[in-house]
Amino acid sequence: MRTTNYLVALSLFFLLPQFTKAQGAYFGANIGYMDLDGFYQRPIVGLEFQYEYKNGFGIEYSLHAGSRYFQMPSSPVLGFITGAAISSSTSDEEKSRPGGALLVGILIAIIPEGFYYNIKLNDHFGICPHINPMQLNFIRNNYQDDSEILFGGTAGIRLFISSPNKKSRFAPFIDYKYQYEENARNGLVYGLTWFSNFGK
């Protein structure tokens, strides 16, 4: 466990200075449409957070919901499971100091849901490919059915259209949504997101 703590501290030492190079923190709301194999088509709404660096690289988190559907980042669930597993497998002496398992669990819980790269065409337009491999979906077709819990992700592209003062931007998008399970229920998600920049 000490080795893990040293590695975590060393990683933070090198990674934290990168946050000083931020272009902006964006909070957004979107509306879209989801069409997955084996499920009826449904409209969805969501909230998103993006943290973008000056080089155009960014990280993001999102929550989406619709009729009998909910999607969230999978990293908090994986962080809880990992932290609990480490805690249960340690010796009695280490259990009296649960900080290591807690720290590992928190660090996994904040792993970004996805990453993107903003290819800026000019000051107000950009093309943005992205991939979000850390998603957890709860979905069902009927209220009588049990919800299917599916780990998966999305990969797609956005068009960023910034306002003249660059305090907000609109982003029409189209994504391919995939699941990691066998006989996956894949499909398309498309819509529009409005972002406001709180980082300037």
For position 22, what pLDDT does the model report?
A: 57
Question: Is residue 80 a part of any domain in this protein?
Answer: no
Q: Is residue 176 part of a domain?
A: yes
Alpha-carbon distance values, 132 to 103, 153, 174 (Å): 24, 5, 13
Asked, for residue 142, whether it belongs to a domain, the answer is yes
Mean pLDDT value of segment 29-56:
93
The string of pLDDT tens digits covering residues 59-94 is 999 999 999 999 999 999 988 888 888 777 655 555
Tens of pLDDT, residue by residue over 154-176, are 999 999 999 988 889 999 999 99
In a domain, 9, yes or no: no
- C-alpha distances in angstroms, 87 versus 8, 77, 101? 17, 15, 6
pLDDT band at 95 (very low <50, low <70, confident <90, very high): low
For helices 2-15 and 99-109, angle between their N-to-C axes, nearest 10 degrees: 40
Q: Residue 5: inside a domain, yes or no?
A: no
Please tell me the predicted confidence (pLDDT) of residue 30: 96
CATH (domain of 139):
2.40.160.20
On average, the pLDDT of the chain sits at 84
Domain assignment of residue 129, yes or no = yes
> Could you list the residue range(s) of the whole structural domain that residue 44 is in?
21-74+113-197
**pLDDT the model gives residue 144:** 64
Residue 98 inside a domain? The answer is: no
Q: How many domains does the chain have?
A: 1
**pLDDT grade for 39, boundaries at 50, 70 and 90:** confident
Percent of the chain with pLDDT over 90: 50
Is residue 46 domain-resident? yes
Q: Is the pTM of this model over 0.85?
A: no
CA 150, CA 159: separation in Å to the nearest integer? 28
pLDDT band for position 7 (50/70/90)?
Answer: very low
Whole-number Å distance between alpha carbons of 114 and 117: 11
pLDDT bracket for residue 196 (50, 70, 90): very high
Per-residue pLDDT tens for 121-149? 998 999 999 999 999 999 887 766 767 88
Angle made by CA atoms 19, 20, 22, in degrees to the nearest 5: 70
